Amino acid sequence: MPLINGSTELFGIIGSPVRHTLSPAMHNAAFASLGMNRVYVPMPVRDLPQAVSGLRSLGFRGVSVTVPHKEAVIPFLDELDPVAEQIGAINTLLLRQDNARRIIIRGYNTDWIGSNAALTAAGIALQGCRAVVAGAGGAAKAVGFGLMRAGAEVILTNRTEESGRQLAQWLGCEFVALNDLSWLTADVFINTTSAGMEPDVDGIIIPPALLPRFVAVMDIVYAPLETRLLREARAVGCRTIDGLAMLLHQGAEQFRLWTGEAAPEAAMRSALEIALRISGHE
């Protein structure tokens, strides 16, 4: 914990709820490991316009945005990163003063960068790789967008066909129903749904018999850290990427935006693991 004083710079996360967020542990560890006089706090927010106006007047420098505000916050910002605008959702705010000392808030999306970085860090070359993405929510959109942008071939699948087809159309990729996956082979399988998340620890989005068809399997669920999907994938020799990887790498990109410096990823990862254990998940 830094010595908080009159020069401490403020960072945090807005969402509802934020009780279980691991981001404060990750970002405070990053600031501490580089000796930065900065602090990152959780802020439960229901009244979004009031909260954004509060960030301006309280002098916050950087803020994470989580559910349910990732899309709703956009009208209250001054600037949008073009890629975040294309995705239609943001997870990061950067606040700065302009020449007239007006506070300018710019929105970014680092989720898709985090997903790509998690895969790349595991040794997967994204250009030309074939990836099956399960899910049709905000996480699937970010993961699918990142893969498409990196030149991967994406196949989307989802429990509900209609929302799956809709997202596939938006991404410009193929949709295959969960029941029709048995003929497919691919480099990567990525679960972006909550299947397998506590308390549904026996849940798994695809039949385990299909797992040998993939070189690598990534799950964005991190409670438990080794989901049934990852356990079964590991047992048949797939490379596995756990749910803390995307969280870490999207946070590392936030850190870079906020500080202009490379993120201390090892310190951030170990803080995430400790926070997860303390929260009773591991």
Q: Which residues pair with 217 in a beta bridge?
A: 189, 240
37 is an interface residue for ligand ATR by CB under 6 A: no
Judged by CB under 6 A, which of 12, 138, 146, 224 binds ligand ATR?
Answer: 138
Among 2, 88, 137, 208, binds ligand ATR (CB under 6 A): 137
Question: Which of 109, 192, 254, 259: binder of ligand ATR (CB under 6 A)?
Answer: 192
Residue where the block lists tokens 């080794």: 226
Query: What is the 3-state composition of the chain as percent helix, strand, coil, each rounded to the nearest 5?
Result: 40, 20, 35
Q: Which residues lie closer than 8 Å to 105 by C-beta, 6 or more apart?
A: 52, 55, 56, 76, 77, 78, 79, 93, 94, 95
Q: How many residues bind ligand ATR (CB under 6 A)?
A: 16
* Closer residue to ligand ATR, CB minimum distance, 33 or 163: 163
Q: Which stretch binds ligand ATR (CB under 6 A): 27-35, 36-44, 98-106, 158-166?
A: 158-166
The window from 101-109, 136-144, 230-238, 262-270 that contacts ligand ATR (CB under 6 A) reads 136-144
Q: What is the DSSP string of 109-133?
A: --HHHHHHHHHHHTT---TT-EEEE
What letter represents residue 209's amino acid? A
Q: Is 141 a catalytic residue?
A: no
Q: Which stretch binds ligand ATR (CB under 6 A): 144-152, 188-196, 237-245, 249-257?
A: 188-196
Annotate each residue in 199-218 with x if it binds ligand ATR (CB under 6 A) or - if it does not, as one string.
----x-x-------------
d(CA 165, CA 171) in angstroms, rounded, equals 10
Query: Rule CB under 6 A: which of 223-262 touch ligand ATR?
Result: none
**Hey, is 60 helix, strand or coil?**
strand
3-state secondary structure at position 162: helix
Alpha helices in 59-200 (DSSP H): 82-87, 111-121, 138-149, 161-171
169 lies in the binding site for ligand ATR (CB under 6 A): no
Binder of ligand ATR out of 16, 33, 66, 163 (CB under 6 A) = 163
Of 191, 237, 192, 184, residue with least CA distance to 212: 237
- Could you tell me the CA-to-CA distances from 122 to 109, 225, 242 in Å, in that order? 22, 16, 10
157 binds ligand ATR (CB under 6 A): no
Q: Is 8 in the site for ligand ATR (CB under 6 A)?
A: no
Q: CB-wise, 159 or 239, nearer to ligand ATR?
A: 159
Residue closer to ligand ATR by CB (options 24, 138) is 138
160 binds ligand ATR (CB under 6 A): yes
Return residues touching ligand ATR (CB under 6 A): 135-140, 158-160, 163, 192-195, 203, 205
User: Could you list the active site residues?
Assistant: 70
